[in-house]
Amino acid sequence: MNSLDTLFSPFKLGPLALANRIVMAPMTRQFSPGNVPNDLVVEYYKRRAEGGVGLIITEGTCIGHKAANGYENVPYFYGEQALAGWKKVVDAVHAAGGKIMPQLWHVGAVRKEGMEPDPSVPGFGPSGLVAPGKKKCHEMTLADIQEVIAAYAQAAKDAMDLGFDGVEIHGAHGYLIDQFFWAGLNERTDEYGGDLVARTRFAVEIIKAVRAATAPDFPIVLRFSQWKMQDYTARLAETPEALAAFLAPLSDAGVDIFHCSTRRFWETEFEGSDLNLAGWTRKLTGKPAITVGSVGLDKAFVDDEKKGFSGGQPASLDKLLEKLNSNEFDLVAVGRALISNPDWPLRLKEGQTMAAYDLEQLKQLV
């Protein structure tokens, strides 16, 4: 096996100082009744910090906008009760020696009518499309866009005030920000539509608003992806040149770290290069990059045919360590393996056996 030294080496970026390169990936759980993180949520994140995770990125948390939520029992990141619950989480993680960021989330067109907080509100999207060619939701006005930008900024300010170590903006997987990125869902003819670079404007304005609402050195992570829930084969950028053009305005707006979401970290991004998406992102921007995608398991988290969540057996980390040790990327996000092994970093360091990720056991796991 390749050396674990790099994986367990410290990482520092401005005020963000991590004990190692292991990041807990954001994973939606729907375990917050009333949309408020409770004591079980506190314990869930505390266990991963005690287990040696360097940085925890929380499950998606809904910003304070009427159409942000798309699922039952997901936590909000606004309102007195929800923020008080998150304060308990951040304090518990810090007491255990960990660092933590909330993932700020707006589901956009994915939202269905009947969801809280206002059951009468439909999904929101750049062009009213829920999938390419399917118009089933509200087409955002300029006023809607400004409301959402303000909600992101307020959530980031609240995160900083609560003591979080930064924020991650969810711009991946076919949710709202990604809907603006993706030509398949963004048919706007105003300044928020157009070519790939023009379609970054919404995200750029969010990033700038988050920066203005927080401290100059408050870490901002942006998660983005080529693939979408609506289409696993979708791509924003077909070439390194297109990816460079896409990333440049986001980097210039103030992103400190790019979280590059892929379903399998070992897959190369462009023909003729062994680099994955995180590797290309780091090379093109000069900014730190997080890789993610089935780390420590032998199956992607969603099945290609059934499009359902899959289990997985422990898998070798040789390829991951080879890439990390060659400086292809800076940080490694671990998802399902940390569900079944809350102390995954400690087990890895000590050479202990890892448990498989078993879907049937999830209801018993915290």
* Predicted local distance difference test score (pLDDT) of residue 305: 57
Residue 238 has pLDDT above 90, yes or no: yes
Question: Are the C-beta atoms of residues 61 and 76 closer than 8 Å to each other?
Answer: yes
Mean pLDDT computed over 296-310: 65
Tell me how crowded residue 298 is: count the other CB atoms within 10 A of its CB. 14
* Predicted local distance difference test score (pLDDT) of residue 310: 63
**CATH number for the domain harbouring residue 82:** 3.20.20.70
Residue 345 has pLDDT above 70, yes or no: yes
Mean pLDDT computed over 118-140: 94
Average per-residue pLDDT for the chain: 94
Q: Indicate whether 33 belongs to any domain.
A: yes
Mean pLDDT computed over 110-124: 92
Tokens found for residue 124: 């929101």
Tell me how crowded residue 58 is: count the other CB atoms within 10 A of its CB. 29
Q: Indicate whether 350 belongs to any domain.
A: yes
Secondary structure element (H or E) that encloses residue 201, with its range: helix 201-213
Q: Taking the alpha carbons of 73, 74, 75, 79 in that order, is the dihedral positive or negative? A: negative
Higher pLDDT, 306 or 298: 298
Residue 1 has pLDDT above 50, yes or no: no
Task: Give the structural domain span for 146.
Answer: 11-364
d(CA 141, CA 110): 18
d(CA 231, CA 174): 9
- Amino acid 322 reads E
- Phi, then psi, of 70 in degrees rounded to 5: -130, 0
d(CA 337, CA 23): 12
Question: Which residue pairs, CB below 8 angstroms and at least 24 apart, start in 326-329?
Answer: 328/275, 328/276, 328/278, 328/279, 328/282, 328/291, 329/260, 329/276, 329/278, 329/279, 329/282, 329/288, 329/289, 329/290, 329/291
Mean pLDDT computed over 27-37: 95
* Predicted local distance difference test score (pLDDT) of residue 312: 81
Q: Indicate whether 310 belongs to any domain.
A: yes
When divided into structural domains, the chain yields a total of 1
Widest Cα–Cα separation across the chain: 56
d(CA 79, CA 75): 11
- Which of 227-236, 267-276, 303-312 is least confident? 303-312
Q: Which of 175, 192, 232, 357 is catalytic?
A: 175
* Predicted local distance difference test score (pLDDT) of residue 298: 80
Length of the chain: 366
Mean pLDDT computed over 298-312: 63
Q: Indicate whether 125 belongs to any domain.
A: yes
- Which of 43-47, 195-199, 332-336, 358-362 is least confident? 358-362
Q: Indicate whether 308 belongs to any domain.
A: yes
Tokens found for residue 307: 């499009």
Which residue(s) pair with 136 in the sheet?
none
* Predicted local distance difference test score (pLDDT) of residue 136: 86
* Predicted local distance difference test score (pLDDT) of residue 97: 97
| Percent of the chain topping pLDDT 90 | 88
Q: Indicate whether 1 belongs to any domain.
A: no
Which residues neighbour 330 within 8 Å (Cβ) at sequence distance 6 or greater? 11, 21, 257, 282, 288, 289, 290
Residue 358 has pLDDT above 80, yes or no: no
Q: Indicate whether 6 belongs to any domain.
A: no
- Phi, then psi, of 256 in degrees rounded to 5: -95, -35
| Percent of the chain topping pLDDT 70 | 95
Residue 174 has pLDDT above 60, yes or no: yes
Residue 301 has pLDDT above 80, yes or no: no
pLDDT tens digits along 249-266: 999 999 999 999 999 999
Q: Indicate whether 56 belongs to any domain.
A: yes
Strand segments (E) across 39-121? 55-62, 99-105
pLDDT tens digits along 146-159: 999 999 999 999 99
152 catalytically annotated: no
Tell me how crowded residue 42 is: count the other CB atoms within 10 A of its CB. 19
